[in-house]
Amino acid sequence: MITRTLVKQLAALPDGPVSVAGWVETVRDQKKVQFVILRDESGAVQLVNPATRELEEGADAAASARLALTEQISELGHGTFVRVTGELKHDERVKLGGLEVKIGSLEVVAEALETPIAADSSLDKRMDWRFLDLRHPKQNLIFRIQTTFLHALRTYWVEHDFVEIQTPKLMASASESRAELFELGYFEGKAYLAQSPQFFKQMAQPAGLGRVFEVGPAFRADPSFTSRHATEFTSIDAEMSWIDSHEDVMKMHEELLVAGFTAVREKHGAEIEELFGLEITVPTTPFPRIPLAEAKQIVAEHGYVVPRADADMDPEGERRISEYVKETYGHEFVFLTDYASSIRPFYHMRHEGDSNLTNSYDLIYNGVEISTGAQREHRIDVLVEQAKEKGLDPEELEFYLDFFRYGVPPHGGFGMGLARVLMLMLHEHSIRETTYLFRGPTRLLP
């Protein structure tokens, strides 16, 4: 039996016998010849069968077999999985890859019903049939890009002595705030789904791990129906010891993204141009840095006033400041820094000499916030006071505060949404496109 060959491997083989397997994308059943486009996980190839429509008197067994094959191909439905053996031939006249396989035998492995979705189906309908939607080369490529991107991030971290951790997603108390928190029964008590690994990655600092990262699920009970929110998402997190300020975190963050974008461009650049019609730009370093107050002033001078002066930058403000940065610096990324302590968590370190500001940032990419980072407060007495200022009961934070009672070095880190990064990288309109199986307020299937 001939070993199966992936479509992407065919070009490197000489003419001769091969075996391929995948699903039927199209069948062109002409009078004297049949063409089948077979697609597998690596690409598509043209199969050809010189059709025999009837048997002449005294026809031999080979002719009978060819007629049976012709009839079999005529009945193939879109999406049917088949295994084919035949003769590979390189032919520059063939538009699809310059090669084709003449079918010797065809085995139907699994028949398929008529597909319930089409290229112009609504996003919601495509999500209902996600396992079929992902057969499309464009959708399929997204998760190969994701694999390359995450591998590059991990490679950067490992080469810079970071340790990978996996933190629990069942928690006894909130990791951020009690807002947007999923509560569930846990034996005789209650538990909560982790909103982020924040507390646990900070715990790694007094544990002596120094630099840690995690790629894992996070949960937010957020009823938003926007293009960039989900109730379950993949969070990319890092935390590092012995920093001087949030500037050290930003430097690591931008170097990490350069590594990820470089890997994607090198491995998938041509496919992205073909299927998405865009060129991946590897960002230059350093990324522009603008204090939040200054950013609000800039967008106001360009015709938009963020509604609340004491609030975060709103989505329109993010778009406006990104436009300004693109025009002024030619950059798709910008760090907005020095957020007010009133709109930041209690564990963000305040500016020395100005407790109204924090050593923190948001990273904006192509008009959308993708990450929040900060230097953390590591002094237990200051941390307790800041928690009280936020109306939190230190007794409910005892397990977290215990980390700091036994000595913690200065540290900081960030959390970043994977699907948002991919959405903006590929100029998609929704994280539903860049999430393998999306979860939102009204979607728990498939």
436: which residues sit within 8 A by CB, 6+ positions away?
Answer: 130, 143
Q: What is the pLDDT of residues 172-197, one digit of tens each?
A: 876 566 678 999 999 999 999 999 99
**Torsion sign (Cα): 149, 155, 158, 159:** negative
The token pair at 275 is: 């299927």
Residue 353 banded pLDDT, cuts 50, 70, 90? confident
List binding-site positions.
Answer: 176, 220, 369, 372, 376, 417-420
Q: Are 243 and 249 in contact (CB under 8 A)?
A: yes
pTM: 0.94
- Paired strand residues for 373: 361, 414
Q: How buried is 230 (Cβ within 10 angstroms: 0-12 exposed, 13-18 middle, 19+ buried)?
A: buried
Contacts of 238 (CB under 8 A, 6+ apart): 157, 162, 201, 211, 212, 213, 214, 252, 253, 256, 413, 414
Flag whether pLDDT at 24 surpasses 90. yes
Do residues 237 and 416 make contact, with C-beta atoms less than 8 angstroms apart?
Answer: yes
Q: What is the dotted CATH code of the domain comprising 126-425?
A: 3.30.930.10
- Tell me phi and psi for residue 49, to 5 degrees: -135, 115
Residue 267 CB partners (closer than 8 Å, separation 6+): 148
pLDDT, tens digit, for every residue of 107-159?
999 999 999 999 899 999 999 999 999 999 999 999 999 999 999 999 999 99
Tokens matching residue 353 = 């000499």
Confidence of residue 246 (pLDDT cuts 50, 70, 90): very high
CATH topology (fold) of 7-110: OB fold (Dihydrolipoamide Acetyltransferase, E2P) (2.40.50)
Q: What is the structure's pLDDT at 177? A: 60
Identity at 422, one-letter amino acid code: L
Per-residue pLDDT at 320? 97
Count of residues in the chain:
446
194 Cβ contact partners less than 8 Å away, ≥ 6 residues apart: 167, 168, 169, 170, 171, 175, 218, 219
Beta bridge partners of 232: 219
Residues 6+ apart with CB under 8 A from 283: 254, 257, 258, 261, 331, 332, 333
Can you say which residues are annotated as belonging to the binding site for ATP?
369, 417-420
What integer is the mean pLDDT of 217-230?
92
- Those residues whose C-beta lies under 8 Å from the C-beta of residue 49, and which sit 6 or more positions away, are 33, 34, 35, 36, 66, 69, 70, 73, 102, 103
Strand-pairing partners, residue 59, are none
Q: What is the pLDDT of residues 55-72, one digit of tens each?
A: 776 678 888 888 999 999
Query: Annotated binding site for L-aspartate, which residues?
Result: 176, 220, 372, 376
Query: What is the Cα–Cα distance from 122 to 127, expressed in whole angstroms?
Result: 9
Distance, in Å, from the CA atom of 202 to the CA atom of 165, rounded to the nearest integer, reads 11
CA distance 297 to 306: 9
pLDDT of residue 425: 98
Q: Give the pLDDT band (50/70/90) at residue 441.
A: very high
pLDDT in tens, 380-399: 999 999 999 999 999 888 98
Domain parsing of the chain, residue ranges: 7-110, 126-425
- Reduce the secondary structure of the chain to three states and give it as a string: CCCECCHHHHHHCCCEEEEEEEEEEEEEECCCEEEEEEEECCEEEEEEEECCCCCCCCCCHHHHHHHHHHHHHHCCCCCCEEEEEEEEEECCCCCCCCEEEEEEEEEEEECCCCCCCCCCCCHHHHHHCHHHHCCCHHHHHHHHHHHHHHHHHHHHHHHCCCEECCCCCEECCCCCCCCCCCEEEECCEEEEECCCCHHHHHHCCCCCCCEEEEEEEEECCCCCCCCCCCCEEEEEEEEEECCCCHHHHHHHHHHHHHHHHHHHHHHHHHHHHHHHCCCCCCCCCCCCEEEHHHHHHHHHHCCCCCCCCCCCCCHHHHHHHHHHHHHHHCCCEEEEECCEHHHCCCCECEECCEEEEECEEEEEECCEEEEEEEEECCCHHHHHHHHHHCCCCHHHHHHHHHHHHHCCCCEEEEEEEHHHHHHHHCCCCCCCCCCCCCCECCECCC
pLDDT of residue 58: 65
Return the structure tokens found at 183. 């509560």
